[in-house]
Amino acid sequence: MLSYDKLSRKPLLFKSFTGLSVKQFDDVYREIGLKYPKHEVKRLSYGRKDKRKRERAVGAGRRFKLIPKDRVVMVLVYYRLYITYTLAGFLFDLDQSNICRDIQKIE
């Protein structure tokens, strides 16, 4: 399975796959990491289309299989290499539909 940890050990591949150096990615991710928890709470609390009150607490339910850092890497690889959801699913060990949803949420 492809992940930040695996790719960051090979800086040339990391740059080739994502378009960013490891340091550039770390700088970008630092900003994302600061905003991500707040965004998730907002997304899970107020983003409902039907405006019904939540029945479960924010954070209840299934967790993402990939940690946020790996999901950002997945989006960058997807855009940089212009791969299909099928190949991205194989590389990151996810189903195609999960790839689609994860990319939409990270964007």
Q: What is the pLDDT of residues 75-96, one digit of tens each?
A: 999 999 999 999 999 999 999 9
* Position 47 pLDDT exceeds 90: no
Q: Which of 98, 70, 81 is nearest to 2 (CA)?
A: 70
Work out the burial of residue 64: count CB atoms within 10 Å of its CB; fewer than 13 is exposed, 13-18 middle, 19 or more buried: middle
Give me the percent of the chain exceeding a pLDDT of 70.
Answer: 90
Gap between the Cα atoms of 29 and 78, Å rounded:
17
Q: Where are the domains of the chain?
A: 4-106
Provide the pLDDT for residue 65.
92
Q: Is 96 helix (H, G, I), strand (E, B) or coil?
A: helix
Q: What is the pLDDT of residues 33-44, one digit of tens each?
A: 898 888 887 777
Of 17-21, 33-37, 49-53, the one with minimum mean pLDDT is: 49-53
